[in-house]
A and B are shown apart, each in its own frame.
With several copies, the nearest count.
Chain A
């Protein structure tokens, strides 16, 4: 089990390899990437910022909870900070398990938890040069 807030590009293949183990029959992977259009506006990239110490703690707790809930220790999660260009990965979750059902359930549970509670924020950069925090209209 390993989780990290990283500032360098995520190596998805390495994550997949990292969770593999002979006792597992299933590897489930989820990769979140930066989309070209959000809410009708053309996006060039997203700047991710985090409250790093807390984000690391929350990510680690999520992975541990997922492991206990779905019965595996083969969980690896990485989340980017810094500027992530169009098409690049902002988050990757790899889970291996003896069986496919819990592998996929755990992957989904982890991404939902990340979105709910890990203190990470994103500022979208638009084609027209504008920048805006996402989801923080006060």
Chain B
């Protein structure tokens, strides 16, 4: 399936885009999506295990992803 993964702050800068399109297996999990995004980024631009949100909630690496999900990579937060 094809997914548009949202990027923010330093991650968006690293990839020069607010979102990137990746193709993953239909039974892909969060970790697979991360791997696919990292393959598009310069070496070491993204950490191995960035925080990921699926449909506006933090998700673990083994969570299954569906084609209709909104997936986002979340840089270390700095609100306040």
Contact = CB atoms under 8 A, between A and B. Distances in A.
A57 B55 CA distance: 10
Given A121-B77, A136-B78, A49 B72 contact: no
Contacts of B56: 51, 53-54, 57-58
Contacts of A100: 80
A96 to B, nearest CB: 15
A122 B10 CA distance: 10
Interface string A2-46: 000000000000000000000000000000100000000000000
A52 B69 CA distance: 17
Contacts of A48: 79
Q: Which 4 A-B pairs have the closest CB atoms?
A: A120-B79, A121-B9, A54-B56, A136-B10
Contact of B80 (A49, A50, A53, A111): A111
B80 A32 contact: yes
**Size bracket of the A interface:** 20 to 34
Contacts of B79: 48, 50, 55, 79, 91, 114-115, 118-122
Interface string B25-65: 00000000000000000001111000001001110000000
Nearest to A112: B80
Interface in B1-36: 6, 8-10, 13-14
A89 to B, nearest CB: 11
Contacts of B77: 115-121
Contact of A133 (B9, B46, B47, B80): B9
